[in-house]
Structure 1
Amino acid sequence: MLKTTLGQWRMFRAVVEHGGFSQAGDAIHKSQSTIHHAVQKLEDALGIKLLRVQGRRVRLTEAGELMLRRANYLLDEAAKLEAVATGLGAGTETQLKIAVDEVFPQELLYKVLDTVSSQFPLLRIELMETVLSGARELLESARVDIAISPLELSNGFNEELCNIEFLAVAHPSHALHQQEHALTFEDLKSHRQIVVRDSANDHRKDEGWLGANQRWTVSHMRTSIDMISKGFGYAWLPTPGIAGQLRQETLRALPLEQGGKRTARLFLSFADGDRLGPAARTFIGELRYRSQHLPTAEDLIR
């Protein structure tokens, strides 16, 4: 059985914070004698002296300083525990799992997550970054609550969230930029294409590959962007993800006769709206609002 109580630790901390028993009593609405008795019982139970009186001020002993640090952690955790219980009573979830395709604009996503966390500070958010079928697979297997995916959920809610523009690009020094004519898909086939692998475990898709003679397949969009920015190949990349490279001219749009720009739809999906809590609904609302006007390639390089 514990020798001390949270109430005693609260009163001990109040004495330290306010500089005396009388001041602590005024701050937490307890009598001076009650607080003095609680701290004395605390010291007796522990067998150590926590406070010493210097003039009109109460000071911590060396042992008291150590115990106060521990007490602060204990009391803060207790406050969090009570907040979680309050949230559960109000129907607020404690965790939110989201799968997001890597082509979705990162800066926009970060702002959405920050807004949600500011409103639900005890919420734990788990973000899973996916490619192609990956987000849908995670949602279908109930490993996430919400998915942002280029593929619709077969059984559940799907809403067209936004269109993502893709631009065929290569480094300015790449051989494809040295051609004196508009490029065709046949021109591209003789050069290395960088392809991002579908992150799903089952039923993977192989989209966007043109049958290039040489193909490098990577697992992350950021790896593809880095490779192409260094001149190792070409690809269609999401324009929101390459804004900096376009401005710095480490990437340049390929002069294709047709198909230099592509558009892909992203869907907001979840299995059952009735099972989503307030934090999930806040995430969805903020996501819809911020996804209304995404920049184009022209906007990004101005």
Structure 2
Amino acid sequence: MYRPKTTLEQWRILQAVVDFGGYAQAADALNKSQSSLNHAVAKLQTMLGVQLLEVIGRKAVLTEAGEVMLRRSRDLTQNVESLELLAHNIHQDWEPEIILAVDLAYPREALYPVLQAFLPESRGSRIKIKDTVLTGTDDAIKKHEADLAIHMSIPKGFLGEPLCHVEFVLVCHPQHELAQLNSVEPTALAQHLQIVIADSSDKPDEKQGWLKSENRWTVSQFDTAIDLLTHNIGFCWLPLYKVKTLLAEKKLQRISVKGSEFKQMTAFLICPTPDDKGPGTSLLEKLILQHRKIDLPSA
């Protein structure tokens, strides 16, 4: 096993000598004798076999190698401080990692202000955002695989706070056969290729959405579905916020279906284990609710 030749204290002393402009100033700031600092830096250079400082006049100046080593040493000491802070937070029951399951239909732009607000208060906790779809989001909630979840429905036995409404529209390429019809019968729709977003569950339960087309292609992301549509391949139900610009630019076109031109779903914030919430999860939950927008702009 590798044993370090140097100590963190030696690197901290070198940083102090540079930051405070010399041995005397660093000694005052660290409440140590100047001779002890001289000895520590000299020993550090000897152990490394590299000259880090050179005295020019009465001032200690970093060598070219010293500049590189000093910069890397700051990363080292910062990492140790972060590690110790993380240990303290764990001792205070602050979670080292918070898992947030987010249904693909929820607009990610709504999360960015939340994460920006959370970062300064995160105490080193990692955020893991887990993209889920339909039953996959159910699984994350029911199996307690997430600390918080944003879902387009509330599973039985759980409670949720509404965050926003998401409108879905049926779209295709302007040159698609379906786009030429003023109103499409559901039976006619079933004769064409449907692009569907894959359920992220290991055991998907395809009970949601219109899935009557026998000819279906499955993709894992909305962006892939949109790429197919813009190449005149199939039709798909997509969130309006994802295709609003493409509709305005006439790169995609809404399909008018008798009995269902659009559908609206509500995104809910759900805490699968509310009695076991840690302080980090509670803070993230609070911030998500503070930044929620019940109504998203529609066309």
* TM bin (shorter chain): 0.7 to 0.9
For 2:120, which of 97, 100, 118 is the aligned residue?
118
Unaligned runs of 5+ in 2: none
Deviation at 1:213, TM superposition (A): 4.6
> Who is 1:24 aligned against?
26
Which amino acid is the alignment partner of residue 103 of structure 2?
D
2:56 to 39, 54, 57: 54
Pick which of 224-233 and 148-157 moved more. Answer: 148-157
Length-normalised TM-score, structure 2: 0.87
Aligned residue in 1 for 2:97? 95
- Name 2:86's counterpart in structure 1: 84
Determine helix, strand or coil for the equivalent of 1:82: helix
Q: Do the aligned residues in 2 keep the contact of 1:153 with 1:269 (CA within 8 Å)?
A: no
Partner of 1:228: 229
Q: Shift of residue 261 of structure 1?
A: 1.2
Residue of 139, 142, 147 corresponding to 1:140: 142
> Would you say the 8 A contact 2:101–2:130 is kept in 1?
yes
Equivalent residue number for residue 76 of structure 2: 74
- Following TM superposition, by how much is the alpha carbon of 1:136 offset from its aligned partner in structure 2, in angstroms? 1.7
Contact 1:193 1:216 in 2 (8 A): yes
CA distance in 2, matches of 1:44, 1:211: 76
- Mean alpha-carbon deviation: is it higher for 229-238 or for 284-293? 284-293
For the residue of structure 1 that corresponds to 2:238, the secondary structure is strand
Distance 1:287 1:212, change over 3 A: same
The question of 1:162 aligning with 2:164 is answered: yes
CA shift, 1:15, in A, is: 1.0
C-alpha offsets along residues 249-289 of structure 1, whole Å, 9 cap, x if unaligned? Answer: 22222233431110123332222223222322222222223
> Counterparts of 1:210 and 1:73 in 2: how far apart (Å)?
53
Aligned to 2:294: 293
For 1:128-178, what per-residue CA distance to the aligned partner results, in whole angstroms no more than 9, with x for missing partners? 111111012123223221111234344444334332211122222222221
Aligned CA distance change for structure 1 residues 205 and 113 (closer, same or farther; 3 Å): farther
In structure 2, what residue type is equivalent to 1:195? V
Range 262-271 or range 40-49, more displaced: 40-49
**Once the 2 structures are TM-superposed, how far is the Cα of residue 290 of structure 1 from its aligned partner?**
2.7
- CA drift of 1:90 comes to 3.4
Deviation at 1:54, TM superposition (A): 0.7
1:37 corresponding residue in structure 2: 39
| Equivalent AA in structure 1 for residue 208 of structure 2 | E
Aligned length: 297
How many angstroms does 1:107 deviate by? 1.0
Q: 1:192 maps to which residue? A: 193
Per the TM alignment, residue 31 of structure 1 is displaced from its structure 2 partner at its CA by 4.1
Alignment RMSD (CA, Å)? 2.5
- Structure 1 range deviating more: 150-159 or 52-61: 150-159
How far is the alpha carbon of 1:240 from its aligned partner? 2.0
Q: Separation in 1 of the partners of 2:129 and 2:18?
A: 41
**Code of the aligned partner of 1:221:** F
Taking a change above 3 Å as real, the CA distance of residues 248 and 118 of structure 1, as seen in their structure-2 partners, is: farther
User: 1:287 corresponds to which letter in structure 2?
Assistant: I
